[in-house]
Amino acid sequence: MLYLQLFISFFKIGLFGFGGGLAILSLIQMEVENHGWMSQQEFVDIVAVSQVTPGPIGINCATYVGYTTAGFWGSVLATFAIVLPSLIIMLSICKAYFWLSKRFQGNPYYEQTLRMLRFTVIGLVASAALMLIKPTNFIDATSWIIFAVVALLTILPNFLKNKATEVISHPILLIVLAGIAGYCIYG
Amino acid sequence: MFLQLFWTYFKIGTFTLGGGYAMLPLIQREVVDRKGWIDEEEFLNMIALAQAAPGLIAVNSAIFIGWRVGGWKGVCGAVLGAVLPSFLIILAIAMLFREWKELPAVEAAFKGIRPAVVALIAAPLFKMAKSAKISWLTALIPVIAALLIWLGHVNPVWVILATIVVTLIAVKLLKR
């Protein structure tokens, strides 16, 4: 039963995960929360781990949730389930590539849907962030200072484009620095 | 071909941090510039398709290139190569993480990391909004979507489906 639930959940995430890594987070969050597979805190921790390890965030979450809920085969199953919709859809696209590119280019239904989905995806990412603003993740005022500093440094290259801002805004560096800060403040 | 694609994607998957988008330039260098498996234009079409289709971008691109280069065997090789590095790394971490987390030093570090992660999720919104050329009117879409999910606990799946259905109806009506 658990295997079936894992499979259905991650198949769904793969099927509706438009717009890449961050957009997929709100889908994963909803699934793991509804099933009680992970606490809020554990979810944030695994996103942090995903940011500093290689590979797509969706695969990382699927493997982790699968393993912690149902062991090794759970992780294999969840990872397979998140990839399966891609396999079905992309292979169909590949097989009909020339037919599709002629029919869909300039098609208003297709282009407008893609455009609107881009807007919706922004909302999905925002909701993923909003759902994580909870006392378990923000334990005191210092948490908000860390949040503000990391947010500012990440946005900085949009205004000031040079080598220094690019280096300082790197997510891995920021997570490592936040970890050191946490160790110094709370340790 | 299976092994070549597997190895190419395995290498890229092992050494790129930051998920699917960060993989694309590396894939381009390896597949277009070095091996010449597909040309520049097809690669750009591939990116557009990999982004438009649901699922993980890295996996989608692996499927497309695997298929063009080596058919079924190519798909298997490229997808396994793209997935296996992160699968193995996370599996190892998952086995150890629950014990590590008991350590006070690790717990203290994570207290600092958690708000940083929320900032890392929130900050790219700025760039996403800019590149989607959002206006005051279209900004209503993400605002409503976020509120529905955040406060209304609506599953994002429904929000995505609603976007698709409403857009198709609107285009149909406007065409008349």
Summarised one tens digit per residue, pLDDT across range B62-90 is: 898 898 888 889 999 999 999 999 899 99
* pLDDT, position B20: 61
Q: Which domain holds residue B152?
A: 133-175
Max CA distance (Å), chain A: 60
Q: Are B78 and B154 found together in one domain?
A: no
- A143 CB neighbour count, 10 Å cutoff: 21
pLDDT below 50 — which residues of chain A? none
> Which one, of B44, B174, B129, B114, lies nearest residue A123 by Cα?
B129
Residue B162, in any domain of the structure: yes
With bands split at pLDDT 50, 70 and 90, how would you rate the model's confidence at B32? confident
At position B163, the amino acid (one-letter code) is: T
pLDDT score of B30 more than 90 = no
Residue B117, in any domain of the structure: no
* pLDDT, position A185: 94
* pLDDT, position A8: 95
Region B113-127 average pLDDT: 89
* pLDDT, position A62: 92
> Which one, of A18, A44, A43, A48, lies nearest residue A123 by Cα?
A18
pLDDT score of B19 more than 70 = no
Of A112, A130, A186, the CB nearest to B108: A186
pTM: 0.84
* pLDDT, position B41: 79
Q: Are B94 and B35 found together in one domain?
A: yes
Q: Mind telling me how many Å the CA of B28 is from chain A's nearest CA?
A: 17
* Residue from B120, B125, B126, B158 whose CB has the most chain A CBs within 10 Å, to mutate: B120
* pLDDT, position A183: 94
Please indicate whether, in this complex, the C-beta atoms of B167 and A112 are within 8 angstroms of each other.
Answer: yes
Number of domains, chain B: 2
Please indicate whether, in this complex, the C-beta atoms of A126 and B75 are within 8 angstroms of each other.
Answer: no
pLDDT score of B140 more than 70 = yes
With bands split at pLDDT 50, 70 and 90, how would you rate the model's confidence at B40? confident
Residue B122, in any domain of the structure: no
Which among B100, B125, B160 is the end of a domain?
Answer: B100
Q: Are B83 and B149 found together in one domain?
A: no
For residue B16, what is the enclosing H or E element? none
Q: Please tell me the total number of residues recorded for chain B in this structure.
A: 176
* pLDDT, position A21: 72
Query: CA-CA distance, A151 to B125, in Å (whole number)?
Result: 11
Q: Does A71 touch chain B (CB under 8 A)?
A: no
Q: Are B14 and B95 found together in one domain?
A: yes
Q: Is A38 left (phi over 0), alpha (psi -120 to 50) or beta?
A: beta
**What backbone torsions phi and psi does residue B17 show, to the nearest 5 degrees?**
-95, 150
Q: Are B26 and B85 found together in one domain?
A: yes
Residue B19, in any domain of the structure: yes
